[in-house]
Chains A and B, each alone.
Chain A
């Protein structure tokens, strides 16, 4: 069959075609996540030198920073798929957005928890109203709002579209919120406690952080694909191919 390249890719916009592909990709990304995480943790625990000021406690950075990065990347990816779903009216894109939300919320929560665990030994308090921690908290609320809105609407098509509008309004707001919180922080913070580190970060530290970031990224992809497969099965349960797929599996 003679198909042009874009048509070959667009085939995967159909849930039935995407389901097996997602299964294969999911395994690849899950393996990549495990290997990268092992490498990243090894670098983080054994190779990276002890920090001159913070001692061993700083090593939580290898989880904290990648989790914060990913919480923002996942929100952008979620808004992207939501926008694609709204514009082209493709069901799979909206399912992708729904599948990404819990992973993003998890990363935001992980970033908050590790941030406060890091804060206790470094600043002597579980929580400071630091600009980044505060905007991370608000990002977490945005994820919760998205999930709650979709959960409250019974009709899946309406839930998809309502979630998409909210994600798009949210993604426009995220930078505004970040800068407003930063502004607020500089006005109010007397004794400056900052996560900004000295520019001379050891190369091994950076390598560990990048490895962990890649691991988290692969984990997010694998989890989103696993979740989107479940959503596809749930929503397409009336179709022939889903019945076949489920029978084959059992």
Chain B
């Protein structure tokens, strides 16, 4: 637990000293979402319908964009190797890094989503469900993505590769996440989708830190 908190604090402090890096993926998120009305046309009913899907797909892409940052800098200067060589248990350490990544790349997406939802004329209750779904879903994206980031560490063409590896695995999160908001927009209960997202989160929390640690060990062998 201590290793988790120390790693979390360290990663957050490092990110705070280079705020532009974090801001890039957030601005990317906003720009991608704002491009859709320009591509499709400003018809309100159509935009209302596609908004949850658009916001979710943009959230997937923004998370992907932040993934290489998860381990790459520490790998480049040798910190990661030292961290894994230390007598501390490794899984909490990796979990701390993933948590820091989510706080920097996932949570801001959740907070920005209602602003973007207003651009698309979404109702209040749909916005609330969308935020809740993102709150449950973006940690899954960070957890699963950590495995991909660890597997492609220091590999040729890592950025495009991590997208190819991870996007198929993001499908369930996308389906349930966008489905929750769409159900709310259609006046149906969003409970089932949110429960399934919660189940995905629990499963990801159980397995992914271990898988990411194993993948990191392979990468640093």
User: Contact: B219 with A162, CB < 8 Å?
Assistant: yes
Q: Complex: how many Å from CA A144 to CA B56?
A: 24
Give which listed residue, B155, B168, B176, B200, contacts A152 with CB less than 8 A: B155
User: Contact: A183 with B179, CB < 8 Å?
Assistant: yes
What residues on B are CB-neighbors of A141 within 8 Å?
164, 167-168
- How distant is A61 from chain B, measured CB to nearest CB, in Å? 26
Q: Complex: how many Å from CA A144 to CA B163?
A: 12
User: Contact: B169 with A173, CB < 8 Å?
Assistant: yes
Chain A residue at smallest Cβ distance from B214 = A165
Q: Complex: how many Å from CA A168 to CA B215?
A: 11
Q: Mark B16-29, 1 if CB is under 8 A from A, else 0.
A: 00000000000000
A residues at B contact (CB < 8 Å): 138, 141-142, 144-145, 148-149, 152-153, 157-158, 161-162, 165-166, 168-170, 172-173, 176-177, 179-181, 183-184, 187
- Answer yes or no: B172 CB below 8 A from chain A CBs: yes
User: Contact: B221 with A158, CB < 8 Å?
Assistant: yes
- How distant is B11 from chain A, measured CB to nearest CB, in Å? 23
Q: List 18 A-B contacts (CB under 8 A).
A: A138-B171, A148-B164, A152-B156, A161-B218, A161-B221, A162-B151, A165-B147, A165-B151, A165-B215, A169-B169, A173-B168, A173-B172, A176-B200, A177-B169, A179-B172, A180-B196, A181-B171, A183-B179
Give which listed residue, B155, B196, B211, contacts A165 with CB less than 8 A: B211
User: Contact: A187 with B179, CB < 8 Å?
Assistant: yes
- How distant is A136 from chain B, measured CB to nearest CB, in Å? 12
- Answer yes or no: B157 CB below 8 A from chain A CBs: yes
Q: Mark B25-61, 1 if CB is under 8 A from A, else 0.
A: 0000000000000000000000000000000000000
B residues at A contact (CB < 8 Å): 144, 147, 151-152, 155-158, 161, 164-165, 167-169, 171-172, 175-176, 179, 182-183, 196, 200, 207, 211, 214-215, 218-219, 221
What residues on A are CB-neighbors of B183 within 8 Å?
187
What residues on B are CB-neighbors of A149 within 8 Å?
151-152, 155, 161, 165
- How distant is A248 from chain B, measured CB to nearest CB, in Å? 36
> Ordered nearest first, which 10 A-B pairs have the shortest CB separation?
A180-B172, A141-B168, A180-B175, A161-B218, A145-B165, A184-B175, A152-B155, A162-B151, A138-B168, A145-B164
Q: Complex: how many Å from CA A206 to CA B152?
A: 44
Q: Name 4 extra pairs, CB < 8 A, besides A141-B167, A145-B165, A152-B155.
A: A149-B151, A162-B219, A166-B165, A180-B172
User: Contact: A166 with B151, CB < 8 Å?
Assistant: yes
Q: Complex: how many Å from CA A14 to CA B165?
A: 31
Chain B residue at smallest Cβ distance from A157 = B221
User: Contact: A176 with B172, CB < 8 Å?
Assistant: yes
User: Contact: A162 with B215, CB < 8 Å?
Assistant: yes
Give which listed residue, B147, B152, B179, contacts A184 with CB less than 8 A: B179
User: Contact: B175 with A153, CB < 8 Å?
Assistant: no
What residues on B are CB-neighbors of A179 within 8 Å?
172
Q: Complex: how many Å from CA A129 to CA B54?
A: 18
What residues on A are CB-neighbors of B155 within 8 Å?
149, 152-153
Chain B residue at smallest Cβ distance from A143 = B168
What residues on B are CB-neighbors of A152 within 8 Å?
152, 155-158, 161
Q: Complex: how many Å from CA A165 to CA B221?
A: 15
Q: Complex: how many Å from CA A179 to CA B203?
A: 15
Q: Complex: how many Å from CA A210 to CA B165?
A: 33
What residues on B are CB-neighbors of A158 within 8 Å?
218-219, 221
Given known pairs A148-B161, A153-B155, A165-B214, the reply for A170 and B169 (CB within 8 Å) is yes
What residues on B are CB-neighbors of A165 within 8 Å?
147, 151, 211, 214-215, 218
- How distant is A72 from chain B, measured CB to nearest CB, in Å? 14
What residues on A are CB-neighbors of B167 within 8 Å?
141
